[in-house]
Structure 1
Amino acid sequence: MKQILHRGAAWVKAHPKIDIAVLVAGLFIFALVTLFHVSSASIWFDEAFSAYIIRFDYWQIAAFTSTDVHPPFYYWALKLWSDLFGTTELALRSLSIVFAIGAISGAFILMRRLFGRSVAAVSLLFMVLSPMIVRYSDEARMYTLATLIVVWATYVLVRAIQAKNQKRWWVAYAVLVALGMWTHYFTAFVWLAHWAWRGIVVAQKNKGVKAFAKAYFTKSWLWVHVLAVGLFVPWLFFMVKQLGTVQGSGFWIGPVGVDTPVNYLTNIFYYLEHGKTQSWIALLIVTVIALVIILIPKTYRRLRADSRQSFWLVSVVAFVPPILLFLSSLPPLRPSFVDRYLIPSILFYSLFMAVVFVVGTRSWRPIARVLPIILVSGMMIFGISNVYYYGNYNKNSNTHILTRQVINEIKRVGGEGQPIVANSPWLLYEAAPYESADHPVYFIDENTQYIFGSLDMLKESDLHKISDLDAFEKANPVIWYFGATTDADVTPYRDDWRKIQTVSVTSPITGKTVYRATAYQVSAE
């Protein structure tokens, strides 16, 4: 076995072009893993918001998202993508897969440049099998786009420092920093991690405050950030307004606690909350974390000086953003710690583990060196199975989103020309992607409180809106009233509605029946 491993390693070393095949194979596996599951789950509210906002033009998208909580760049990209490929679940979510493939490719190239081929290969393995990356590559949201930008910005930062002709690399870095902010505000934590890394590198060569400051705040470093801020200035006012709204009126995110970092780690490996990480799988994760901690100093000692700087870079991007997000979630600030906001750092945690397990175990026997990699890979494969099982299950509200399944039941048993009326604007968003000519989707305007910016699209547009319920009832004698309730039927909006039948779907995860639709006779034929 030892000879086989040595011969295999020697053959790979003698054929550097094999790296292209390794990368392509890894990306192919990742595409299979994500595409296999991409249409399994119903679109949930956040994705539904993405799907709805791209019905409008680019200026309207910016206007509507300015009153919500995110910048517009992802929505612009999704609109362009949907114009080319449509608005099915596969079409909407596949863009995130494309972004993830770009991020994984960039990270592979980065790690090969910084640490060599072996570390790059193991990094690729961990990224491809990462449950969190798989999960949010199958979601029509901006997380993998943010990750793509972060990875390539980090690569460009390295090239800017190493290159003789630095200007073009610094310009590219400024553009990527700005694009990150136009995509997700929490990429700012990564840019702060880059600042921290630069501080570590500069401090190693410059002793004293004056020497450090002079070496740190160079003209190139300052003007590149001036350029980045300048590129973001058109949206800066809206960012301040959005953050002020969240901090002033609160948000749905719960407070951080001692379980927050534990949940973060169990989701990275298993896509499970810490309360469900029990018995042997709990022991395995403790073992892996302990092994990583033990190997960190050995890894650092075995690296050359330049590679140590690279190790610091990977480490700060992996760990600084989660720490900053945790700290910014403490009182008096509103909590904002959500695992999916940290997908870029989760990817870099895979890179961090790859460095530790390849470099830190160089004195081990070949078979022993492979064991931690196999162990982590097995844990992550188990995590992918949990991604497949839970799908879009909302761990924060303990809700299994089953909108598509209920609408499919309506289409199966309902008659032609029977519209679906959502009993809340939130469910209207979830139902809209599944409407058809026979079963268009609406919501009732009267008594709807448009108190959240995310509802401005409904407030300002007549699309899907019932403004005159009497006229709507005359035109549609039978309607399906759709809602999320534990009652046997969806409570009618008006007392004179007469029930015909109810369809419902039971969650295989919770065993509860919450999503229902009741057919009502609302007027004479």
Structure 2
Amino acid sequence: MWSWQPSPASSGLGLTQLPAGSLMGVTAQPVSRWRTRNWRVSVTAVTLAGAIARLVGDRDSIAWDEVYLYSWVHGKGFGQMMHLVAVKEKTPPLGFVLAWISDQLGSSPSLIRIPSLIAGVALIPLVAALGRRLGGQRTGLVAALLVAVSPFLVFYSVEARSYSLTVALCTASTLLLVRALKDGRRADWAAYSLLAALALMSHYTAFAVLAGQALWALAAFPRNRKSILLSQAGPVLAAVIWLPWLKQQVDNSSDELHRIAAISPLDFGNVSAIIGHSLVGHPLTSIARLPGQWGLGLVLVGVAIAAVALVVDRVRGRAPREPMGRPNIWLLVVLALAPLALALGVSLQPGQSMLLARNLITAVPAAALLVATLLASRGKAVLLISAGLVTTGLALGTVIELRDVQRPATGAAADAIASRWKPGDRVIDLCCLSGGDGPLGTALALQLTKGPRASLTVLSRGGDSAYAASLKTNGRVFIVGYQLPRASAPIFYAPPKAWATRFHRTWAREWPGLVKTVAWEFSQR
């Protein structure tokens, strides 16, 4: 555990090395083996709790962008998959490569989530280790707790796309950069360079974090300029290798940025919304719904208590319990702001926007560490109260997410239909919310058994063909639809008017979630 302050008289790394907990020449007592062992046990327990939350979330059916990822990797050879990613996708290939490997393990579509789940769980001890090295054991443990119960990070740990992978690789690269600057070992510099390359090849938003790391290191450690610059060879080489396919992906990204601009243009409301969603909420629903007034209130009160205690201690001249060196604080500030700066910079371009909460995910660990630094720097009573309130507020959001804000329950709907379906029956799925315009048709199609899948019709309006087909076979028609929050009725819930007199509803089921999934059975009169 180390923190640093520049010193003109220093040698070696060019900086004076101080034990963790040091600030302005005040040195904390060494940490005992007993406390270190207890810290490791605590981090392990927090990691297990975070893993359980993520595994509960993994019960959701794959949905939306996950359907596209599945279509690029399932049943494809490695070369075919890479070609599809290069010409049709807008993100680099690492996440797809790992999803392709995971897909080879079995037939379940949810296998493509394995890399994200592993990365999401690994992020917890990574943040703990980074916090311990920058500030101390309390800082690392509190930060790990915040990451473990963050509803935003729990959601993306169960998202097959590479967001969780990217944030874990960025955090690991930051940890290795800090260690390399402390020890100066070539192995650490090489490992940092490799992880930085992997982060960049997982998602282009990693560029903001990697650039922030490099600029901070050059400013805080000028005598290590050569090692810092040489370590950039990894991400630069990765970008050069991927360069032949980069232009096509940039074009694909441009189309995406135009679509985002239509729903989330650059204004104060959208900027504040994505910041709030990434810190305490969920990427696809309002903060009023998740974590709700109680959850948000607990988080704000907890932070306020620690902030007031900080001011009081400063007035009384009390030193922080676990101070963090100023260069370390600047590192976290840079890493927390760099992704937002990238999103704002792109969104300044006419007709383009990056203002989606998911594009700030790489900032969340640094933000958690900054909050943990505030909470851990006060006395034990303040720490327990403030950290307890913040953690409880975030945990309330995660409970709401896992209980009420799941992805569309296409798997449950498919199972229910399969238990009732008979030859001659037809199945209709509304495509607009389930990836129906993707290569595989719909998320429902991935879950249905062979017979119902063969009778599936994907429709966004009308349904005459399916009803007509069922009349020829004397069968029934099953419809799966989606009801949006605050909507009075499902999007698609009854036979077309021309057929309404010949069919009546004989069965219905619904499943709660981010959008309510509803299924109906219509039989001939």
Give the TM interval when normalised to the shorter protein: 0.7 to 0.9
Q: Structure 1 pair 33/44, CA: closer, same or farther in 2 (3 Å)?
A: same
Whether 1:324 and 2:342 are equivalent positions in the alignment is yes
| Aligned sequence identity (%) | 20
Measured after TM superposition, the shift of residue 514 of structure 1 is: 7.0
Deviations 1:78-137 (A, max 9, x none): 221232254253x44344221112222222222222222222221222121212112221
In structure 2, the residue matched to 1:434 is 447
The 2-side partners of 1:153 and 1:477 are apart by 59
Could you state the TM-score of these two structures normalised by the residue count of structure 2?
0.75
Whether 1:81 and 2:81 are equivalent positions in the alignment is no
Deviations 1:450-487 (A, max 9, x none): xxxxxxxxxxxxxxxxxxxx999999987756666624
Measured after TM superposition, the shift of residue 408 of structure 1 is: 3.0
Measured after TM superposition, the shift of residue 187 of structure 1 is: 0.8
Secondary structure (helix, strand or coil) at the match of 2:452 reads coil
The 2-side partners of 1:29 and 1:335 are apart by 36
The 2-side partners of 1:475 and 1:53 are apart by 36
Q: Structure 1 pair 36/304, CA: closer, same or farther in 2 (3 Å)?
A: closer
| Letter in structure 1 aligned against 2:327 | Q
* Contact 1:419 1:440 (8 Å CA) reproduced: no
| Letter in structure 2 aligned against 1:317 | L
| Letter in structure 2 aligned against 1:486 | I
Whether 1:254 and 2:264 are equivalent positions in the alignment is yes
Measured after TM superposition, the shift of residue 28 of structure 1 is: 1.4
* Contact 1:292 1:353 (8 Å CA) reproduced: no
The 1-side partners of 2:358 and 2:216 are apart by 23
Deviations 1:148-181 (A, max 9, x none): 2111111111122222333x32222222222112
In structure 2, the residue matched to 1:341 is 359
Whether 1:489 and 2:494 are equivalent positions in the alignment is yes
In structure 2, the residue matched to 1:48 is 67
| Letter in structure 2 aligned against 1:179 | L
Secondary structure (helix, strand or coil) at the match of 1:17 reads helix
* Contact 2:426 2:452 (8 Å CA) reproduced: yes
1:56-135 matches, cutoff 5 A: 56-66=76-86, 67-89=88-110, 91-135=111-155
The 2-side partners of 1:513 and 1:270 are apart by 20
Deviations 1:342-366 (A, max 9, x none): 223212221221112112x2xx4x3
Secondary structure (helix, strand or coil) at the match of 1:246 reads helix
The 1-side partners of 2:251 and 2:156 are apart by 27
Q: Structure 1 pair 478/247, CA: closer, same or farther in 2 (3 Å)?
A: same
In structure 1, the residue matched to 2:11 is none
| Letter in structure 1 aligned against 2:77 | D
Q: Structure 1 pair 328/301, CA: closer, same or farther in 2 (3 Å)?
A: farther
Q: Structure 1 pair 424/101, CA: closer, same or farther in 2 (3 Å)?
A: closer
The 1-side partners of 2:160 and 2:306 are apart by 33
The 2-side partners of 1:317 and 1:200 are apart by 14
1:30-429 matches, cutoff 5 A: 30-39=50-59, 41-55=60-74, 56-66=76-86, 67-89=88-110, 91-166=111-186, 168-202=187-221, 218-247=225-254, 250-252=258-260, 253-259=263-269, 260-265=271-276, 267-271=278-282, 273-276=286-289, 283-288=297-302, 290=304, 295=310, 307-332=325-350, 334-359=352-377, 361=378, 364=379, 366-392=380-406, 401-416=408-423, 420=427, 422=429, 424=431, 426-427=435-436, 428-429=441-442
Measured after TM superposition, the shift of residue 145 of structure 1 is: 0.8
Deviations 1:285-304 (A, max 9, x none): 44455567664996998599
Measured after TM superposition, the shift of residue 269 of structure 1 is: 2.4
Measured after TM superposition, the shift of residue 368 of structure 1 is: 2.6
The 1-side partners of 2:170 and 2:331 are apart by 12
The 2-side partners of 1:377 and 1:192 are apart by 31
In structure 2, the residue matched to 1:466 is none
* Contact 1:47 1:141 (8 Å CA) reproduced: yes
Aligned counterpart for 1:27 among listed residues 40, 47, 67? 47
The 2-side partners of 1:194 and 1:418 are apart by 59
Secondary structure (helix, strand or coil) at the match of 1:328 reads helix
Measured after TM superposition, the shift of residue 234 of structure 1 is: 3.0
The 2-side partners of 1:279 and 1:440 are apart by 43
Secondary structure (helix, strand or coil) at the match of 1:69 reads coil
Measured after TM superposition, the shift of residue 370 of structure 1 is: 2.0
Secondary structure (helix, strand or coil) at the match of 1:438 reads helix
| Letter in structure 2 aligned against 1:165 | R
Kindly report the root-mean-square deviation, in angstroms, between the aligned alpha carbons of the 2 structures: 4.2
The 2-side partners of 1:149 and 1:134 are apart by 16
Deviations 1:380-428 (A, max 9, x none): 11111221234345xxxxxxx3433432332132114756465648332
Measured after TM superposition, the shift of residue 335 of structure 1 is: 0.9
Measured after TM superposition, the shift of residue 251 of structure 1 is: 2.0
* Contact 1:263 1:274 (8 Å CA) reproduced: no
Could you state the TM-score of these two structures normalised by the residue count of structure 1?
0.75
Measured after TM superposition, the shift of residue 316 of structure 1 is: 1.8
* Contact 1:489 1:518 (8 Å CA) reproduced: no
Measured after TM superposition, the shift of residue 29 of structure 1 is: 1.2
Q: Is there any run of 5+ residues in structure 2 with no aligned partner, and where?
A: 1-28, 461-467, 483-489
Q: Is there any run of 5+ residues in structure 1 with no aligned partner, and where?
A: 1-8, 206-214, 394-400, 448-469
Greater CA deviation, 129-138 or 411-420? Answer: 411-420
